[in-house]
Amino acid sequence: MKGKLLLGKKEGSLNEEPFLKGFTGTLSSFSSFGARIPLLTLFFGIIVIALYSFFLSSCRGLTFEEENTGEIRFVFNRKVDTKSVVREFPDSNKFMLTIKNSSGTVVYNDLYGNRPAKMELNAGSYEISVVSRVFTRPEFDAPCYGDNKTVIVKAGEVCVISLTAVQTNLGVRITFTADFIKKFPGYTAELADTAGKLTYPFTETRFAYLNPGPVTLNLIELPPYGEDAVQDTIPVISREMSQKDMLTVNLHANPSDTSSATSGVIIDTTARWLFEQIVVGAGDGKSMATAFNTGQLSSNIGAKGVWVTGYIVGGDLTSTAISFTPPFTKETNLAIASSASETIRSNCISICIPNTDLRGVLNLCTNPGNLGKRVYIQGTVVASYLGLIGLNPVTDARF
């Protein structure tokens, strides 16, 4: 900590000649009285008293200024990963800048563009954050960018802070095929995260933005709810998603659609772009063209010789676990789900692979390329196979 001594100007000055004359007169008086104090000692004593009196009378012109502040400067960057889909980046001057000290007190909370040209703060630790918008609940067209930094400001020094704004929420867009809309005229889609829900009409085309974490997509029956007056809900997706994920889900209702699943990842300048096709609704299970989807099996326990369709998502099942990534070691089972990228065990269906030619076709040990493929499997629906609703035995399978 440095200190500066600033001397104020004192009006008036000493008149040396009268001052000395005064001392001469005083000394003469003492001499005339025959003082015992030596003349030289008395002279210096009077000088000290006079200077001390002058110092006291001049204190208003004397101040001390301590340097206990430091300066912070900002460098604002945007995150760039690879060249891909280019999206407009928001104006950084419109970001909200918040600065809190170590005790949590907000010392600055205003637009980044309104910050002072020279920002000085007391020495100490500060939490710096910038956000492009206030985002708490799911909403359309609401990408949120931001960054957080903890910095130490030192007295008399300049602290340069580099802020890199990245997308802090995630986006989901749903497309609905004509067959799907025809199949579910009395329903609407609903997205939800831990903070709230958002209705996604079949006519909607925008991205819905949600908080990172568990995300669900359901079909919700519109009023009236039917004879039993209970609103029907059809689960479609339930998964963990991360910030920057941008997921497009194409919903089908026609189980005879034999197109392969499309699921890929493209790194965007601010997002990971995902695309999936999901079959919802299916049929009665009596043929491949009317195969059950995985969500229908719970209400068809015991059905024999029925067809089920889904995507192969994993293998090496035990009573408590599934492996979703290769390599695989067991040829006797696999898991399917309604989504090609499902990673939640409870959303999967277990498949017992028989010791027939089907084992050589289905198993993931020798056919790792089957992972993510859509498959049609015929068999008996059981309440539990390796701890999950499943098919056992299996009598046929087709890709």
pLDDT tens per residue across span 310-358: 999 999 999 999 999 999 999 999 999 988 888 999 999 999 999 999 9
pLDDT at position 291? 86
- Residue that finishes a domain, picked among 167, 199, 220: 167
Mean pLDDT highest for which of 196-205, 241-250, 267-276?
A: 196-205
What's the pLDDT band for 233 if we cut at 50, 70, 90?
confident
The pLDDT > 70 percentage for the chain reads: 71
Sign of the CA dihedral running 380, 384, 390, 392: negative
* Cβ pair 124, 117 in contact under 8 A: no
Residues 176 and 88 in one domain: no
- Residue that finishes a domain, picked among 167, 200, 217: 167
Mean of per-residue pLDDT scores for the chain = 78
Residue 96 has pLDDT above 90, yes or no: yes
pLDDT at position 204? 95
Residues 125 and 138 in one domain: yes
Report the side by side order of strands in the sheet with 245-252.
Answer: 139-140, 208-210, 170-176, 245-252, 272-279, 265-267
| Overall domain count for the chain | 4
Q: Around 264, how many Cα atoms within 13 Å sit in the side-chain half-sphere? A: 5
Q: Between vectors from CA 106 to CA 101 and to CA 109, what angle results, nearest 5°?
A: 125
pLDDT tens per residue across span 101-127: 999 999 999 998 898 888 899 999 999
Residue 66 has pLDDT above 50, yes or no: no
Residue 31 has pLDDT above 80, yes or no: no
DSSP-derived secondary structure letter, 37 = S
pLDDT at position 51? 56
Residues 223 and 272 in one domain: yes
Residues 108 and 39 in one domain: no
Residues 153 and 178 in one domain: no
Residues 145 and 175 in one domain: no
**C-alpha R_g of the chain:** 39
Tokens of residue 108, six digits: 């600055």
Residues 204 and 129 in one domain: no
- CATH number for the domain including 323? 2.40.50.200
Q: Between vectors from CA 350 to CA 261 and to CA 296, what angle results, nearest 5°?
A: 70
Q: For residues 172 and 212, what is the distance between their CA atoms, to the nearest angstrom? A: 11
Residues 393 and 295 in one domain: yes
pLDDT at position 280? 62
Residue 9 has pLDDT above 50, yes or no: no
Q: Which residue has the tokens 């340097």?
A: 67
Find, among 251, 259, 256, 261, the residue nearest to 288 by Cα. 256
Question: Average pLDDT of 201-229?
Answer: 86
Residues 186 and 264 in one domain: yes
Residues 57 and 78 in one domain: no
- CATH number for the domain including 90? 2.60.40
Find, among 133, 218, 134, 230, the residue nearest to 172 by Cα. 218
What's the pLDDT band for 78 if we cut at 50, 70, 90?
low
Q: For residues 154 and 124, what is the distance between their CA atoms, to the nearest angstrom? A: 7
Residues 147 and 180 in one domain: no
What's the pLDDT band for 44 if we cut at 50, 70, 90?
low
- Residue that finishes a domain, picked among 167, 190, 225: 167
pTM above 0.75, yes or no: no
Residues 49 and 74 in one domain: no
Domain ranges, residue 33: 2-65
* Cβ pair 215, 239 in contact under 8 A: yes
